[in-house]
């Protein structure tokens, strides 16, 4: 394959710490194939698949199935995340060691979609992953503080008459888990950090040398709760879109490295789950195909962005957090050419029907964004060329 890379930016293959692939169980919203095709077009060579599939990824069987589907699709490596608790019920710890020992080599565990709210379960899970340098990724949300919540709690939620999801619901759990991780001597990672107060707690924890990492989602770097005034369920997400002061704090924290990584929280939903009334719509937004563009925009735009920071936050650091090497590979597989080529001079318009995801729930429809992914290579083989998916059926059959 010959690619003319004149004028293009070369980045290590992007690594997503937080992807919902919906297979098994909701293949009408996304499959491992469609989700990894979306990933490749977004410049990704590896995605970590969240455990809230149906059935839940809480056994070696399910995580191996998801891993194998990724290998067969051939568009991006799929690193399954195991559930912390059986069935995401928050009660009984799943067999983390069995998932770790499986073919899927699971090192990261999360009940994402739910908070591990029981401190005893969290402590035991942290103690357990410490034995193989694994990681708990926490969806920080004190459930008793968010009962019935429909959007960010603030001036606008009062005006719209929607129950609020207060910042303190996230911050209270982050503060607790910083202390627990320090007590146990284990790593903890915070999913989709969304408030200025969370940034302050994480910054303080890092100053003390506590082993915490955090991710931010593209939508929290660009959108505010004002979007909710439309009552368009495409803007419904957990944690909710916050205020402009939160967006500013998240951008600064990402630039400075207090927030370690960009993660998409790519959350495809079937049409009927996003075209109903606000209160009944499922939370979540597509992210894989727009993440790089939004990140560049949030870090100053294509003319001012520091591309080395993009490489750190979107590729190298997430690979390290997930226990993959700098190229987004399982260290046992070895280093091979995973990279993406970006054209920083072009822009594109987000058209939901043109996305590779089966679902259509992008909050960025109609938006003109900087930077196009020209090519993505997975282990030296093109998954995207001239901005289009290649046919991988030969290579992986
Ligand atoms: C996610 C989903 O749909 O699975 N939804 C969301 O709003 N982010 C779950 C989650 O990340 O909490
Ligand atoms: Zn979550
Ligand atoms: Zn999620």
Band of pLDDT at residue 336, cut at 50, 70 and 90: confident
**Atom number of ligand 1 nearest to Cα 282:** 3
Ligand 1, CB cutoff 6 Å, lining residues:
20, 52, 112-113, 139, 237-238, 265, 267, 282-284
In the predicted structure, residue 393 carries a pLDDT above the cut 90: no
Number of Cβ atoms within 10 Å of the Cβ of 127:
14
Half-sphere exposure of 7 (CA within 13 A, CB side): 9
353 noted as active-site residue: no
Burial class of residue 387 (count of CB atoms within 10 Å of its CB; 0-12, 13-18, 19+): middle
Tokens of 168: 């303190």
Residue 28: CB atoms within 10 Å:
15
* CA atoms of 30 and 291, how far apart (whole Å): 17
Average pLDDT, the chain: 96
289-303: pLDDT as tens digits: 999 999 999 999 999
Specify whether the CB–CB gap between 125 and 91 falls below 8 A: no
3-state SS class at 86: helix
pLDDT for position 397? 47
Average pLDDT over residues 29-49: 98
Q: Which of 170, 284, 357 to mutate to test the pocket of ligand 1 (most atoms within 8 A of CB)?
A: 284
Going by pLDDT thresholds of 50, 70 and 90, the confidence category of residue 327 is low
Read off the pLDDT of residues 6-38 as tens digits, 9 standing for 90 and up.
Answer: 999 999 999 999 999 999 999 999 999 999 999
pLDDT single digits (tens) 233-255: 999 999 999 999 999 999 999 99
Residue located nearest, by CA, to atom 12 of ligand 1: 113
Half-sphere exposure of 244 (CA within 13 A, CB side): 3
Distance in angstroms (rounded) separating the CA atoms of residues 364 and 263: 16
Dihedral of CA 29/142/133/309: which sign?
Answer: positive
Asked if pLDDT for residue 128 goes beyond 50, the answer is: yes
> How far is the centre of ligand 3, averaged over its atoms, from the C-alpha of 265 (Å)?
5
Q: 194 and 170 in contact (C-beta within 8 Å)? A: yes
- The active-site residue, picked from 16, 265, 273, 343, is 265
pLDDT tens column, 182-208: 999 999 999 999 999 999 999 999 999
396 has pLDDT over 60: no
Whether the pLDDT of residue 322 is over 90: the answer is: yes
CA of 114 from ligand 2 middle (Å) equals: 7
Ligand 2 centre distance from Cα of residue 112 (Å): 4
**Span from the CA of 194 to the centroid of ligand 2 (angstroms):** 11
Mean pLDDT (whole number) for 312-338: 80
- The tens digit of pLDDT for each residue in 341-365 reads 999 999 999 999 999 999 999 999 9
Q: What is the 3-state secondary structure (H, E, C) of 300-343?
A: CCCCCCCHHHHHHHHHHHHHHHCCCCCCCCCCCCCCCCCEEEEE
Asked whether the CA dihedral 233, 234, 239, 243 is positive or negative, the reply is negative
Whether residue 335 has pLDDT greater than 70? no
């Amino acid at each position: 394959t010959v690619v003319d890379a004149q004028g293009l930016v070369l980045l290590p293959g992007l690594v997503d710490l937080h992807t919902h692939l919906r297979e098994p169980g909701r293949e009408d919203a996304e499959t491992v194939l469609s989700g990894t095709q979306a990933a490749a077009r977004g410049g990704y060579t590896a995605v970590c698949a969240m455990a809230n599939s149906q059935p839940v990824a809480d056994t070696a069987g399910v995580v191996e199935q998801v891993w194998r589907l990724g290998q067969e699709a051939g568009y991006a490596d799929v690193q399954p995340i195991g559930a912390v608790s059986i069935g995401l019920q928050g009660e009984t710890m799943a067999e983390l060691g069995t998932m770790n020992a499986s073919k899927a080599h699971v090192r990261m565990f999360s009940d994402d979609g739910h908070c591990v709210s029981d401190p005893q379960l969290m402590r035991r899970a942290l103690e357990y992953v410490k034995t193989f340098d694994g990681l708990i990724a926490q969806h920080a949300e004190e459930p008793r503080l968010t009962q019935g919540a429909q959007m960010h709690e603030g001036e606008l939620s009062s005006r719209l008459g929607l129950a609020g999801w207060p910042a303190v619901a996230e911050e209270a759990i982050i503060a607790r888990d910083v202390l627990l991780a320090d007590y146990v001597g284990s790593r903890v990672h915070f999913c989709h950090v969304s408030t200025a107060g969370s940034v302050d707690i994480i910054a303080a924890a890092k100053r003390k040398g506590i082993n915490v990492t955090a991710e931010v989602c593209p939508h929290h770097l660009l959108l505010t709760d004002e979007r909710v005034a439309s009552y368009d369920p495409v803007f419904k997400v957990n944690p909710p879109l916050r205020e402009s002061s939160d967006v500013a704090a998240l951008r600064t924290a990402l630039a400075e490295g207090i927030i370690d990584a960009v993660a998409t929280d790519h959350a495809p939903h079937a049409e009927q789950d996003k075209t109903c009334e606000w209160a009944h719509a499922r939370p979540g937004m597509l992210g894989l195909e727009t993440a790089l563009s939004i990140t560049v925009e949030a870090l100053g735009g294509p003319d001012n962005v520091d591309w080395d920071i993009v490489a750190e936050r979107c590729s190298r650091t997430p690979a390290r957090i997930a226990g993959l090497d700098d190229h987004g590979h399982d260290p046992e597989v070895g280093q091979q050419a995973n990279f993406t080529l970006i054209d920083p001079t072009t822009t594109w318009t987000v058209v939901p029907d043109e996305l590779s995801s089966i679902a259509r729930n992008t909050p960025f429809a109609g938006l003109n964004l900087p930077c196009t992914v020209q090519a993505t290579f997975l282990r030296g083989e093109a998954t995207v060329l001239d901005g289009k998916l290649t046919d991988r059926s030969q290579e992986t059959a």
